[in-house]
Amino acid sequence: MTGVARAEVEAVLTQAKLIDHFAVIVAGDELPAGGSKPAPAAYLLAVERFNQVYPEMQLTVDQCLTVEDAFPGIEAAHRAGIKVVGVAHTYPFRMMQRRADWVVDYLFEVDLDWIRRVYLNPDTLPTAG
């Protein structure tokens, strides 16, 4: 999900040979007026499209996780009911910590095994930050 136009997103993903790895794309030019971040419209549309592609999953927002580096995106995700991993390269770690559910300094620090455990059994793990 991005505020960039779909054609630009697809061009970059195609150039990087990554387009086949994205079943769902939500671009800025597909949102209704007033639907850009911090409005939750983009996140809700992403869940809706994901369910269209994979109807057997019946994905709900509480099963989702977003990775964000900016406050409007964090607010949009939270308004949609989605947990957030904040990446502290746009804003300082401490500032991100106040807004995101979990924070990392760099994207490569996102621990997918830890996230999997949190989502499989959310009552048994403390939050990270």
Has residue 125 been placed in a domain?
Answer: no
Domain range holding 95? 6-120
pLDDT (tens place) for every residue of the chain, 129 residues total: 888 899 999 999 999 999 999 999 999 999 888 888 899 999 999 999 999 999 999 999 999 999 999 999 999 999 999 999 999 988 999 999 999 999 999 999 999 898 888 888 766 555 544
Residue 73, burial from CB neighbour count under 10 angstroms (0-12, 13-18, 19+): buried
HEC assignment per residue over 33-57: CCCCCCCCHHHHHHHHHHHHHCHHH
Amino acid letter, residue 22:
F
Q: Which residue's entry shows tokens 């809706």?
A: 48
Has residue 128 been placed in a domain?
Answer: no
This prediction has a pTM of 0.85
CB count, 10 Å around CB of 18?
A: 10
CATH number of the domain bearing residue 50 = 3.40.50.1000
